[in-house]
Structure 1
Amino acid sequence: MTLYEYPLNERVRTYLRLEHLFLRLSLLMARTEPLDHHYALATIFEVMDVASRADLKSDALKDLDKQKQTLNSYRGNPAIAENVLDAVVAQIDQCFTNLNNQTGKAGHSLTENDWLMSIRSRINIPGGTCEFDLPTYYAWQQKPAAQRQADLQRWAQTLSPLAEAIHLLLKMLRETGGAQKVVASNGQFQQILPQGRTFQLLRLSIDPLLALIPEISGNRLMVSIRLLQHQSDDRLQPSHQDAAFELTLCS
């Protein structure tokens, strides 16, 4: 099954973008080629750009605290294993402390590194990091892979508190949903969301053998899904066939 996720508010949209970047960063850092490490460094700069939103840190801290309060409300419930509950609450506390103790925004300390900032200023210019533009960066790319990986790990460490918090928050959010099987009639599906409950994330799983691509839109009141087909001329056309998929709403 191919999984698509769609955020139903701006905060979760930002969390998903950061999760995407952190996953890419971990994959690129594990590789050894200079080109992979170039894009790993570019990804660090992208994370810094996304994390530059003024209220991101406070939003994440508030969400962690809200999750802790929700879990603590389950104490005394015979259906809940207290030892598992304690472990999850301890993990939330650790993430909260690490993020709260971080000074400034994620990656703020890297802005004081003039060498890194000289690369950042040119990395989005087409061909802007050639050896004649940034000879010191070119020299760094010629170093042994282990040394480059150590440098990247050191720079990425400044982003770790945010990465851990985002990973935990999204994991817990995804666990709140229950999958339901639905059918898009004539390639279209709409669902009015129940009142009194705020959904934050939509997850859609569809069989890749159907060769259908969901175009999703939604808000706190309803979600709408239109299925598209990829044509041989690389254009997308609406599908008019009935198709089943799994839909999960997470709150």
Structure 2
Amino acid sequence: MANEKILVVDDDTNICELLRLYLTKEGYQVTTANDGEEGLEKFNQLKPDMVLLDVMMPRMDGLEVCRRIRKLGNTPVMMLTAKGETFDKVLGLELGADDYMVKPFDTKEVVARIKAVLRRCTVTTSQTESSEGVIEFDNLRLDMNSYELRVKGKVVEAPPKELELLNCLASHPNRVYTRDQLLDEVWGFEYYGDSRTIDVHVKRLREKLAGASDKWELKTVWGVGYKFEVRQ
């Protein structure tokens, strides 16, 4: 049975209770909060293994809570949004969310996605520990243990998902990835065909890596996807 700690933050007490019951039955330790500020307070107190986070809430919305959680570390976050609400999926993922669900949702699917995200994070951690998690090319150093990117020796600030995307590509030089493959590798779930988030992340990475070296390049393979091209 699972024993991870999950924090559910939603102003709908019925949803909180429903998720608490289902997740407790699966063996998770569940804590709930009913607004953004309370959620952030409990996050700091409990240090949960994963957060389920409603988007529209009083006192502080879920996007702001997600932004603040990301400043504190890489705890997995699943965004919850009501059908018909204005929610930019790309924005949520750019802020560092690992997944999202639209209400009304099937509780079994929520449980399945939680398991998938936690499993992916566990695998990523074990791989990082065994391989030391450091990638180096000319004027580029990416350390996934500390989530630190250095370009020409200087630290470059980048959100976790940008670093994970770069790590995925640079770990396999010259291999071409489709957008769907990158979504699956980095976010750990299928994004239902909307691949704009990959293009946005690549664009921002290119801006940060611009002019670093002529020996490698984050390259578009037209009609297919992207690759980290290393030249001889």
Q: If the TM-score is normalised by the length of the shorter chain, which range does it land in?
A: under 0.3
Q: Which has the higher strand share?
A: 2
Which protein, 1 or 2, shows the higher relative CO under an 8 Å CA cutoff with sep ≥ 6? 1
Which structure has the larger Rg over C-alpha atoms?
1
TM-score by length of 1: 0.24
